[in-house]
Amino acid sequence: MHSTLDPAGPAARSIAALWCAMLAGGALIFALVMVLLLLSFTRRAPAGGEARQLRVWVIGLGLVFPLAVLGALLAYGLVIGERLLAREEPEVIRVSAEARRWTWRFTYEDAPGRRTEGVLHIPAGRPVDVAITTADVIHSFWVPRLAGKLDAIPGHVNTLRIEADRPGTYRGLSAEFSGAGYGGFTFLVSAHDAAGWAAFVEDTER
pTM tops 0.85, yes or no? no
What pLDDT does residue 167 have?
95
pLDDT (tens digit, 9 = 90+) per residue, 85-133?
777 777 899 999 999 988 999 999 988 888 999 999 999 999 999 999 9
**Among 59-63, 165-169, 192-196, which stretch is predicted with the lowest mean pLDDT?**
59-63
Please give, one letter per residue, the 3-state secondary structure of the chain: CCCCCCCCCHHHHHHHHHHHHHHHHHHHHHHHHHHHHHHHHHCCCCCCCHHHHHHHHHHHHHHHHHHHHHHHHHHHHHHHHHHHCCCCCCCCEEEEEEEECCEEEEEECCEEEEEEECEEEEECCCCEEEEEEECCCCEEEECCCCCCEEEECECCCEEEEECCCCCEEEEEECCCCCCCCHHHCEEEEEEECHHHHHHHHHCCCC
Q: What is the mean pLDDT of residues 23-52?
A: 76
